Amino acid sequence: MATVQVSEAEKVYILHGIRDDLRVDGRGCEDYRHMEVETDVVSNTDGSAKVTLGHTAVLVGVKAEIGKPKPMIPNEGYLEFFVDCSANATPEFEGRGGEELGTELSNTLYKVFNNQHSLDLRSLCISPGEHCWVLYVDVLVSSSLQGHLSIT
Amino acid sequence: MAVDMRLPTVKNSMSLSVSAAGRKDLVVPGDVITSDTGFMRGHGTYVDEDKLTASVAGEVQRVDKLICVRPLKTRFNGEVGDVVVGRITEVQQKRWKVETNSRLDSVLLLSSVNLPGGELRRRSAEDELTMREYLHEGDLISAEVQSVFSDGALSLHTRSLKYGKLGQGVLVQLSPSLIKRQKTHFHNLPCGASIILGNNGFVWLYPTPRQQEEEAGGFYTSLEPVSLSDREVISRLRNCLLALAAHKVLLYDTSVLYCYESSLQHQVKDILKPDVMEEIVMLTQQKLLEQES
């Protein structure tokens, strides 16, 4: 991640402001920036969305295919994640630069959706042990400010 | 914690009020300016099959037989006398390297700064060793361009009490072409904050100092907490600057002040929303047109 250079006095100003719940741009500490959500943007997917928050833009596409359930859990479907930090976002993601961050985000998504409370995986089952729905979720980080992502 | 979300809408292009004082001659790279071979080609142009074509996107300027294209978005090209706000990137022998959004880092020589106490003496070896105590990497300074080196790098100086190290405040980085050239770039706005509009696009917002410190000359930076009301004024000004820059409005003290006044009806954090930004900028432009006529 790129570092921003600030002087001592600027640092003090920012810290004092946060103490009074006032960021430099006038937001409170818990306020979000302007967010835009658009759905059904990619026509050849079963579902897609584009979210813009501040300088970060993320495009997500979901494709559903029929596959064989995992041998350990025969009555549940599963999700496959792939996060691509594209070089459009920042020059640091050029070539294989964005791979590390991409795998880290994919692993986080796996952990988030791997429990019963986020998604009922049993609803993805068609016939136990033989067929189930596999949801392939592809995430594309299309723009960010010097490698900082505001959307998790 | 309320989150404000919305669906993206088609942005209506704002109706530009074309001033009667002649339409600007705007070109994009590849546009043919003239087929007449009698002209000399200046910056931003090249000759392609006997036709003078533009190589940058900008405004065509004709001075007698010289044609050049002044780009709209460019790095800062400094001239002698420009006021800049810069950040120290390196401390070298007898000079500092300053980042000023130009093609090359600018140079601040040790002999071009005021020593503490305003002494006038030859810089000694000891002064060289204590350079870092005065300005180190990351510090912000306001300075004036003293001269331009042959390679285009700027040589800065802070030989006046109004220049020097900057204390607490907010830096806004904008395009240099949006800053209007004026007699003075230091303004104490009536709303309660002060602003330095650097020609290089760096704008510094800071709380107006209570008493004018004559001795300081930028050496002593106060780390006292700034009051909440001053902070809100500075945050509002920052958002107004970003709104004006997003709509390509020329920045000078009057336009910033009008934008501030137009934004008072909204909350500070709402100014960042695109529709509120548009509304405020339209009001500002109306006020500016009224003032001109």
Which residue type occupies A47? Answer: G
Which chain B residues contact residue A20 at CB under 8 A? Answer: 228, 231
To which H or E segment does residue A12 belong?
helix A8-19
Q: Which of A34, A39, A51 to mutate to test the interface with B (most CBs of B within 10 A)?
A: A34
What pTM, to 2 d.p., does this model score? 0.83
Kindly list the averaged pLDDT for each block of 10 residues, start to end, along chain A of length 152. 75 91 88 87 92 89 92 88 88 84 91 83 87 92 75 53
Residue A30, chain B, CB below 8 Å: the answer is: yes
State residue B108's pLDDT score: 94
Residue ranges covered by each domain of chain A: 1-31, 32-143
CB B78 within 8 A of CB B199: yes
**B232 — phi, psi (to 5°)?**
-65, -40
Q: What does DSSP say about strands A131-143 and A125-127: parallel, antiparallel, or unpaired?
A: antiparallel
Q: Which of A7, A24, A36 sits opposite B6 (nearest CB)?
A: A36
Write the single-letter amino acid at B263. S
**Per residue in B58-106, pLDDT tens?**
889 888 889 989 888 889 998 999 999 999 999 998 899 999 999 999 9
Pairing of strands B5-6, A35-39: parallel
Using a CB-CB distance cutoff of 8 angstroms, which residues of chain B are in contact with residue A22? 228, 231-232, 235
| Residue pLDDT, tens place only, B95-149 | 999 999 999 999 999 888 887 666 677 777 777 778 888 888 999 999 999 999 9
What Cα–Cα distance (Å) separates residue B2 from each residue in B5, B232, B277? 10, 21, 20
Chain B residues whose C-beta sits inside 8 Å of any chain A C-beta: 1, 3-8, 87, 89, 137-140, 166-171, 221, 223, 225-226, 228, 231-232, 235-236, 238-239, 267-269, 271-274
| Superfamily in which the A32-143 domain is placed by CATH | GHMP Kinase, N-terminal domain (3.30.230.70)
Out of A16, A30, A38, the one facing B225 most closely (by C-beta) is A16
Chain A positions touching B166 (Cβ under 8 A) are 7, 9
Prediction ipTM score? 0.83
Name chain A contacts of B87, Cβ cutoff 8 Å: 5, 7
The CA distance from B7 to the nearest CA of chain A, in Å, is 5
Question: A5 and B137: CB-CB below 8 Å?
Answer: yes
The pLDDT tens digits of the residues spanning B11-37 come to 666 555 544 445 678 899 998 888 888
